Amino acid sequence: MTALAASVKLDERYPGRSFAYPVASGFHVYAGGLVGVNAAYALQPAGSAGVVAIAGICQTELDNTAGANTGQMVNVARGTWALPVASATAASIGAPVYAVDDSGCSTSSNSGANLPAGVLAAIESGRAWVRI
């Protein structure tokens, strides 16, 4: 999978709640991208060094590559989202999925290198639905 270079619109089912976080210094997050929090509770793209937990799907793009934490908050939503999931099969439904980067997941934790993102809720018409 290729990391995002622009915002994307993902299809969503059963919208969840959203939470606001600041974006970590040195990072750019995109709307529609998987994001996680670092130890200081600031957002980073999923798969980047320093992420300690997956927070959800970013709702707004914010570029903080040039500055310190801006104090601007970005909403992150939890729910069930259509996301690419490498190696997903019918047998994977109900199993954990792991964030590879900000654009997709895998059924493999890659020996702990990929953080848990959620559960594979369904595969419908070739699309994987991940409950985060």
69 falls in which pLDDT band (50, 70, 90)? low
Q: Does 87 lie in the same domain as 71? A: no
Segments forming the whole domain that contains residue 109: 80-131
Q: Can you tell me the distance from the alpha carbon of 127 to that of 26, in angstroms, rounded to the nearest whole number?
A: 33
Q: Does 119 lie in the same domain as 71? A: no
Q: Does 93 lie in the same domain as 70? A: no
Q: Does 70 lie in the same domain as 24? A: yes
With 90 as the cut, is the pLDDT of residue 16 above it?
no
15 falls in which pLDDT band (50, 70, 90)? low
In a domain, 61, yes or no: yes
In a domain, 9, yes or no: no
2 falls in which pLDDT band (50, 70, 90)? confident
In a domain, 5, yes or no: no
Q: Can you tell me the distance from the alpha carbon of 104 to that of 117, in angstroms, rounded to the nearest whole number?
A: 10
Q: Does 71 lie in the same domain as 30? A: yes
Q: Does 84 lie in the same domain as 69? A: no
Number of domains in the chain: 2
In a domain, 4, yes or no: no
In a domain, 1, yes or no: no
Percent helix, percent strand, percent coil in the chain, to nearest 5? 0, 45, 50
Higher-confidence residue of 72 and 65: namely 65
27 sits in which H/E element:
strand 27-29
